[in-house]
Amino acid sequence: MATYRTLGRTGVKVSPLTLGAMNFGAWANRDHDDAVKIIHQALDAGVNVIDTADVYSQGENEEIVGKALADGRRDDVFLATKFHGQIGDNPNHQGNSRRWIHRAVEDSLRRLGTDHIDLYQVHRPDPATDFEETLGALDDLVRQGKIRYFGTTTFEPHQIVEGQWIAERLRRQRPVTEQPPYSILARAAERAVLPIAERYGLGVLPWSPLAGGWLSGHYRKGDTTHAASSRLERQPHRHDPELAANQRKREAAERLAELADEAGLSLIHLSLAFVLEHPAVSTVIIGPRTREHLVSQLGAADVRLPRDVLDRIDEIVPPGTTISPADEGYQPPSLTDPATRRRPAARG
């Protein structure tokens, strides 16, 4: 695997590829033994970052990662997980409150079989919770030694800046990473998120670099294997081929596949190498479900795209363009709640 990179300004050396574990467990690959073998294969290939979350398969995913690291490999891994999503039915077992963070971290530590988490991430913004409360709780966890660093995932640009300002004003530990969606088909992060990350020295760990499978090479003309995929069942807004935005993604993916063929690359390697090309990116998250998926992605860390290929990519999907808003991963209340955009009705 290619030379290790530095995670922002932390000084931590990370592999260009991060193993995203989301597809292990009830959501996709239910075979724990097979999932453990895939994790070990990734580590043997030089991957030293594993990313999971408590909400993935409702904790089962973290348990699988814990099994894989129980054989003495824990110290070799930079282990990242997340909190925010709903766990169970209790209305307080979710969000970014101090109360939930202190409960969630203990549950993650137990499932992962470790005494500390290297990177604890806020999985999504929480409009119901002051960010000061969230940062205060995370600062406590750093001081207690339960986490080493913390960061954010899929935050809006102004929220990333706000986190830095709050930490500076209150003299607390600051977020050191951001995990945005970023692929050739979803380039909105280039507008502000990635420049802001560079400005503040944040490590960037993009998720969905293959656009949820659209850049895997399986969505080419005449291929219907995606129709029964688990992704289609869980996220039809991203994967239903009948939706207009997804039809545009398929057209772009076909042109990119032709470009990859001309460059002598697989579409997977082209797509991952594109994300790794951005100066702000520290490591890119891959999410294999099978060993074949893993093998098809590992070699991308050694690929450098020629300038003419990068220029052609820009022609197919212009910089800053996201073809489908569904691939952005989060829509703020300012977009989803009409009341935030309309003055109160006049009284009669």
Task: Supply the Cα-derived Rg of the chain in whole angstroms.
Answer: 20
* Terminal CA-CA length for the chain: 69
For the CA atoms of 289, 26, 282, 172, what is the dihedral angle to 10 degrees? Answer: -170
28 and 230 Cβ atoms separated by less than 8 Å: yes
Residue 233 CB-half CA count within 13 A: 5
**Residues 84 and 49 sit within 8 Å (Cβ to Cβ):** no
Query: One of 56, 120, 149, 219 is an active-site residue; which one?
Result: 56
Query: Can you give the length of the chain in residues?
Result: 348
CA distance 41 to 327: 29
Amino acid identity at 275: V
Please say if 200 is a catalytic residue. Answer: no
Do residues 217 and 257 make contact, with C-beta atoms less than 8 angstroms apart? yes
Q: Can you state the percent helix, strand and coil of the chain, rounding each to 5?
A: 45, 15, 40
Strands (E) across the chain are located at 5-6, 13-14, 17-20, 49-51, 78-83, 117-122, 147-153, 177-179, 203-204, 284-286
CA dihedral (254, 272, 270, 185) in degrees, to 10, reads 30
Locus of tokens 């994967």: 239
204, 173 contact by CB (below 8 A): no
Q: 160 with 121: CB under 8 angstroms?
A: no
DSSP string, 75-103: GG-EEEEEE-S--SS-TTSSSS-HHHHHH
Question: Which residues carry out catalysis?
Answer: 56
